[in-house]
Amino acid sequence: MVAGWARLRTAWTTHPSRSFLRSDRGTLSYVELERRASAYAGWLAQEGLRAGDRVAVFADTDPDVIVALFGHHRLGVIHVPINTRYQHEEVNHILSDAQPRLVLTDAAHRAVVERAMTDRLAVKLIGQPAPLGAGPGPTAPAADHPDDAPALMIYTSGTTAKSKGVILPFRSIVGNVSALTDLWGWSSSDRLVLALPLFHVHGLGIGVYGSVLHGMSIDLLPSFDPARVVTAIAEGATVFMGVPTMYRRLVHHLDGDPPAANALRAARLFTSGSAALSPDLFTRFETLTGHQIVERYGMSETLFTLSNRLEERRRPGVVGRPVPGVEARIVDEDGRVVAPTEVGELEVRGGGMMTEYWGKPEETSASFAAGGWFKTGDVVRQDDRGDFQIVGRKSVDIIKSGGFKISAREIEDVLRDHDRVEDVAVVGIPDPEWGQAIVAVAVPVGEPIDADTLPEELVALAAARLAGYKKPRRVVLTKALPRNALGKIQKHVLIASLTAQP
């Protein structure tokens, strides 16, 4: 079976008469997708772009973002989506690192791009006037790409301050997404409600590629809205994918609207990923809709690694077994493989593996153990049936809020710029809505003062420089941070004391 580019290319040209997408901006068939992607790729080629060049996309969810993706694939240009919540410093880091030839943006984000740019870069408004227009123009014959050619570069946070570009080749994306969606029984009679952002692999990877690989159609929502999810399903959509925060809001909505809960019974499949789905939420959703959410686990670097099986009764808190093509093992602190029921770090191989962190050979090789095993940093165990449970993460410096991965150090670096901050630690504490909520613990220069305004100033500082979801939800002032004998901040101690006194 062809694993990579050719399979994707065949998939999106095999169903010309089918509807590909419904959105607030109208509908798009597979044939229109092909025509517009080809016209856009022709324009890019005329502008001198070649395979391996990068194009960054910093724009809200829109059909044109998907047209751009397939235009990039036709030419072999690497598609670099940027989180639309980012502010100029965060965007500047990505543009400096990825060195794209072109940035596609929309009216709402253009000012941020222009403020972010250090070098002169071509910037175009997505969808207008020429690049993504449906009008006549040169078209590009789809080039043949090796399966290992890079298709996507996804920026993700690690334990260090700056995000890294994960390079994903066609082989990994197509092989792994089709393996996962085959497990889930996706077929051309399914219709996906897609309300996840198009800049991460959950929405873009499973949502867009998965649909195309099966000739499915997508109801594309501009953002997550429980009422619109219900309407889409009432109108015939069959599949919904979300992060746990979305399910929490959906359950809240359905609690007050029994007919809506009933409408969801008609759907075929609900899946959750990107963060832990609490057993309570799983059960409440099943009670309301009759559906057992299929939970799965993944990572930008490895794509989709573990999933519940459709045919098996799901148990809350369990993320299932390796997706076909993926190998998984559990290792101890010294990298020795442990018995499956012991707790240890999850390492994975095969499947949707990245090829590298862009321009970072040392960090790339440090992230793999001998034999090509990727060190996920997630702490897991297998139950007696061989199913995996995610127990936690090795590093307290990585926080997951609402499905977004956040580096504690990036926030600390910003807060440290306040001239009254002597020391600061950022941690994630358990939170029912977001999974984890960001709390900053700061030591002010000198003594804390009565009615200190430092907490509000620190929140404002973070809000001015970082994406809104990285803003501390709470700031606590203290005289000193707990440190061990080597002087390292004991974040576990902080988390324990903050969790004890909400």
- State the nearest-atom distance from the C-beta of 492 to ligand AMP, in Å: 17
Q: Who's near 53: CB < 8 A, 6+ residues apart?
A: 77, 78, 100, 101
Contact 382, 330 (CB under 8 A): yes
Q: Amino acid letter at 245?
A: T
Select from 85, 122, 118 the least CA-distant residue to 103: 122
Question: CA-CA distances (angstroms) from residue 259 to 255, 271, 376?
Answer: 10, 21, 42
Contact 233, 259 (CB under 8 A): no
Q: Hey, what are 106's tokens?
A: 């929309």
| Contact characters 262-301, ligand AMP, x per CB under 6 A | -----------xxxx------------------x-xxxx-
What is the 3-class SS of 371-430, one letter each residue? CCEEEEEEEEEECCCCCEEEEEECCCCEEEECCEEEEHHHHHHHHCCCCCEEEEEEEEEE
| Contact characters 364-383, ligand AMP, x per CB under 6 A | ------------x-x-----
By a kind-dependent CB cut-off of 5 to 8 A, residue 291 interacts, out of ligand AMP, ligand MCA, none, with: none
Sign (positive or negative) of CA dihedral 163, 167, 173, 176: negative
Instruction: Report the distance separating Cα 399 and Cα 393, nearest Å.
Output: 9
| Contact characters 286-325, ligand MCA, x per CB under 6 A | -----------xxxx-------------------------
Q: Please report whether residue 412 would count as binding ligand AMP according to CB under 6 A.
A: no
* φ, ψ for residue 310, nearest 5 deg: -60, -40
Cβ closer to ligand MCA: 18 or 309? 309
Q: Which residue in 191, 202, 314, 465 binds ligand MCA (CB under 6 A)?
A: 202
| 372 backbone φψ class: left, alpha, beta (φ>0; ψ -120 to 50) | left
Q: Which residue has the tokens 């009254």?
A: 420
Cβ closer to ligand MCA: 211 or 401? 401
Cβ closer to ligand MCA: 282 or 404? 404
Q: Which stretch binds ligand MCA (CB under 6 A): 10-18, 63-71, 242-250, 254-262?
A: 242-250
- State the nearest-atom distance from the C-beta of 362 to ligand AMP, in Å: 20
Cβ closer to ligand MCA: 172 or 274? 274
Q: Please report whether residue 276 would count as binding ligand MCA according to CB under 6 A.
A: no
By a kind-dependent CB cut-off of 5 to 8 A, residue 83 interacts, out of ligand AMP, ligand MCA, none, with: none
Cβ closer to ligand AMP: 156 or 181? 156
User: Contacts with ligand MCA in 460-499 (CB under 6 A)?
Assistant: 468-469, 471
* φ, ψ for residue 449, nearest 5 deg: -110, 160
Q: Please report whether residue 205 would count as binding ligand AMP according to CB under 6 A.
A: no
- State the nearest-atom distance from the C-beta of 138 to ligand MCA, in Å: 35
Q: Who's near 394: CB < 8 A, 6+ residues apart?
A: 345, 377, 378, 379
**Can you give the binding site for ligand MCA, defined by CB under 6 A?**
196-197, 200-203, 223-224, 243, 245-246, 273-274, 297-300, 401-404, 434, 468-469, 471
Residues that bind ligand AMP (CB under 6 A): 156, 273-276, 295, 297-300, 319, 376, 378, 390, 393, 400, 405
